[in-house]
Amino acid sequence: DTGVSQNPRHKITKRGQNVTFRCDPISEHNRLYWYRQTLGQGPEFLTYFQNEAQLEKSRLLSDRFSAERPKGSFSTLEIQRTEQGDSAMYLCASSFGQGENYGYTFGSGTRLTVV
């Protein structure tokens, strides 16, 4: 297990279509996070899971967005009825540890282009 894996790497979709992204975290990591990053900006938090429980959702996560983490393993992020404003890099991260030994590892992201 070499890191956080995200698929697909790139997705081009037409406005109004639904898209789903997958994240496979580092296997021993119990927390999984989704972020969105637009050009020239830092990543913005969307939601996170501890095991299979979704603990927090950002106000950025409109009702067109849904995330799941069945059985506390991989996670999926679905965007329904995509809009051009959804075009961004969607990053997944996972973490495990306590105190100063906490580590957050990011995947390479899924770049979404809505045309």
Q: How far out from the chain centre does Cα 84 lie?
A: 18
- Using CA atoms, how far residue 102 sits from 14, 17, 30, 84, 115, in Å, is 39, 38, 12, 36, 39
Decide if residue 5 touches another protein (CB under 8 A): no
Which of 44, 74, 76, 80 binds another protein (CB under 8 A)? It is: 44
* Contact with another protein (CB under 8 A) among 25, 107, 112, 114: 107
CB nearer to another protein: pick between 12 and 81? 12
C-alpha span between 16 and 13 (Å, rounded)? 8
Q: Which is nearer to another protein, 44 or 52 (CB)?
A: 44
Pairing mode, if any, of strands 75-79 and 19-24? antiparallel
* Site of interaction with another protein (CB under 8 A): 4, 6, 31, 33, 35, 40-45, 48, 56, 89, 91, 93, 95, 97-100, 102-109, 111
